[in-house]
Amino acid sequence: MTPSPSAPPPPSTLQVLDIEGKARGTVPEIPPEDLIRLFRHMLRMRVLDQRMLSLQRQGRIGFYGTATGQEAAVTGSAYALRPTDWVFPALREMGVSLWRGTTIREIVCQLIGNRGDVLIGRQMPCHFSDRKVLTVAWSSVIGTQLPQAMGAAWAARILKHDTVCMGYLGDGASSSSDFHAAANFAGVYRLPVVFFCQNNQWAISVPLKLQTASESIAVKAVAYGFPGVRVDGNDVLAVIDATRAAVDRARRGEGPTLVEAVTFRMGGHSSSDDPTRYREADEVREWERRDPLQRFRSYLEGRGLLRAEEEPGWTQELNDEIGAAIQEAEALPPPGIETMFDDVYKEVPPHLEEQRRYALAMGEGQKVEGAFPL
């Protein structure tokens, strides 16, 4: 595609580690113990994806969206935030909540929608939210979390808090009207928000080249009057560097940044999708060479921070943890029918109280057949 002569050049892609895991740029300052923690978290995400997709195939949960291949973008962006910052995720950012303190048991309970679910079974599987880690539920209506992130940032500005809000999106959501509305408003009012785009090359079955005529996603920020940064999304150190700078800039009151993390969705869009119908195997094999875990593993081994024999033990520990969480979650009953009437009014009115008594008397909500039907 030939760019318009008047179009700004695409931003260069920030990279710290090459695909072999060798440092080619300035390495951000990160304590060695945090480097190990980052790797373990990326490994945890991948093992969890494998186990949850297996549960879905067995009919024990109804729907799942993996982040396999995108662990560096998720983990690196989470690392740059403070615990007091707010997160507005999309489909593949459950690992952000996991980094911030959500437990695997809570995630499994949400996927089942049972009594242990922090959302009391009110959301679709994988549409995660957790108040204790300041993560707001997203909607499958693409991009709606972005005006919410912008609005929360505006509230933080009004309240004079130093909070930063992170709004996640995929490359497809950058074509939505909500992206435009959020970015335009945030740019005009210089709000403390970071728009973090995981450009994984595919919006379900639509490739990036048919998604936008722009040379990049990051370049779209120019029209809204704030910086756009393009980063190698499979390089966790580069993601941390770019996101940390964007978050710090927002916290200083200098306004928003659009971070484009160039990565790749290794699996389907969700457990309901077959990517072999629209994607060439050669493309997948090429991206497998850029695997974010392999790249970071090589870097850590080169620095003497990781020994090859350690990882199998960690993987077994993670599988044991996940297995225990599944066992506990599957033993829990569905949410009580009475919870359906909570949180509607501050004080329950007589007609809802009557309906609640009737539902309890009839034993409604006690029979459950199969997983969430998706």
22 is written with which tokens? 């060798």
CA dist list (Å): 361 to 120, 273, 338: 21, 41, 11
Spatial CA neighbour of 157 closest among 193, 194, 191? 191
CA 165 – CA 177 distance, rounded (Å): 20
Spatial CA neighbour of 67 closest among 53, 57, 54, 81? 53
* Residue among 41, 100, 269, 290 flagged as catalytic: 269
CA 229 – CA 261 distance, rounded (Å): 8
What's the order of all strands across the beta sheet hosting 165-170?
A: 13-14, 228-232, 257-262, 193-199, 165-170, 86-88
Spatial CA neighbour of 202 closest among 303, 299, 276, 131? 276
* Residue among 57, 161, 252, 278 flagged as catalytic: 278
265 catalytic? Reply is yes
Four-residue CA torsion sign, 60, 65, 71, 74:
negative
Alpha helices in the chain (DSSP H): 32-57, 71-79, 94-100, 104-112, 145-159, 177-189, 208-211, 236-251, 281-288, 292-302, 310-330, 350-362
CA 86 – CA 231 distance, rounded (Å): 22
* Residue among 244, 265, 290, 297 flagged as catalytic: 265
Residue 231, strand partner residues: 14, 261
8 Å CB contact between 66 and 267:
yes
- Per DSSP, the three-state class of 13 is strand
List, by residue number, the catalytic residues: 265, 269, 278
